[in-house]
Amino acid sequence: MTLTWVFPQSEGQAGGDDAAGLSRTIDGLDPASRDWLLLRYAPKPGPYLRVNMIASLNGSVTGSDNTSDSLSSRLDRRILGVIRQLADVVLIGAGSVRAEGYVIPARASLAVVTASGDLAGHRLAPRAGTEADRSRRVYVLCPRAAVARAQATTAGSGAVIVPLEDQVGTLTPAAVVAALHSLGLTRIVCEGGPLLAGQFFAADLVDELCLSTSPQIVLGARGLLESARPVATGFSLRQLLLDDQGALYARWERSRPASS
C-alpha cells in the first residue's frame, strides 16, 4: 500500500527529509518500511501516555463484525505494530480483551485494567519462540478486593497481579499510570476501550492521540471515547498520512501552556 505525507509541510524536526505530497510504498516485509514508520511515529524523549485507536468517519470504534478488525487494514496493523514497538507497555481494559480476543503484543508488555478481576477464558500467556518473548510480561491491574478473582482467572498464565487502591471499585487513571511507572513501564500506549481511554483524557494524562480513520460510516456502535462528565482539552495536529484506500493516520499532540 502507499502512504502520502499530508502534514506537516516538512519533517525536518524528526530528522527525516520527507515533505507534504511525498508518497511512499509500505511493504509489510521490507525493513526499510518499518524504519520509515518508526521515524514517523517516534515520540518525544521521556515518559509518555499515548492513546492509539481506530474509528469510522462518524467515530464508531467497531465495524460490521462488532470489532475493530473490520475497520482496520494491513497498513493500519503495520502502524499499530510500530507504535507498540516504541512502547514499554500496551494498556487495555478488560472489556477490550473480551471483545477483541487480544493477542499479546510481540514487542511490548501488556497491562489489563479490570475492576472485577474476572479474565476467565482469555489467553494471557505470551507466545514463546523469540528472545523478546522472555522479557515481556502480562500485568493485571485491579482493586485489592478483586485480587483473589484475578489470581483465580489468570492461573497458569504467568500474569503479574498488581493490586491498586480504588475509589468505590473504580481504579483512577493516575493510580494506573503511577503503578506502571513503578514497574519501569513509562512509555505507555492505551488501546482502549472507549471508557478506559476516555478516563485518561478526562484526567488530562494523555500526551498524544494516534488516530486511524477508516473511510466508512458505521451506525449503531460505540463512539471513540466515553466519559461520565463533559471535558474539553485541546490538541494540535502533529502529523497526517493518507493511504491509497482513503484511510487517514493522524498524530494529535496535547496542547499545553508553555512553562514560564
pLDDT tens per residue across span 130-154: 444 556 789 999 999 999 999 999 9
Q: For residues 160, 161, 167 and 169, what is the CA-based torsion angle, rounded to 10 degrees?
A: 120
Could you tell me which residues come within 8 angstroms of residue 77 by beta carbon, excluding any fewer than 6 positions away?
none
Output the pLDDT for position 59.
95
pLDDT tens per residue across span 100-123: 777 788 889 999 999 999 998 776
pTM of the model: 0.90
Output the pLDDT for position 257.
72
Residue 179 has pLDDT above 60, yes or no: yes
Domain ranges (residues) in the chain: 46-254
For residue 14, what pLDDT band results from cuts at 50, 70 and 90?
very low
Least confident range from 11-20, 48-57, 219-228, 247-256: namely 11-20
Place of cell 492505551: 190
Cell numbers representing residue 186 in the block: 513509562
Domain 46-254 has CATH 3.40.50.10260: no
Q: Pick from 68, 51, 92, 43: which is nearest to 189 by CA?
A: 51
Place of cell 472507549: 194
What does the mean pLDDT of the chain come to? Answer: 88
List b or e across 235-248, with b for residues whose CB sees 16 or more CB atoms inside 10 angstroms.
beebbbbbbeeebe
Place of cell 493477542: 103
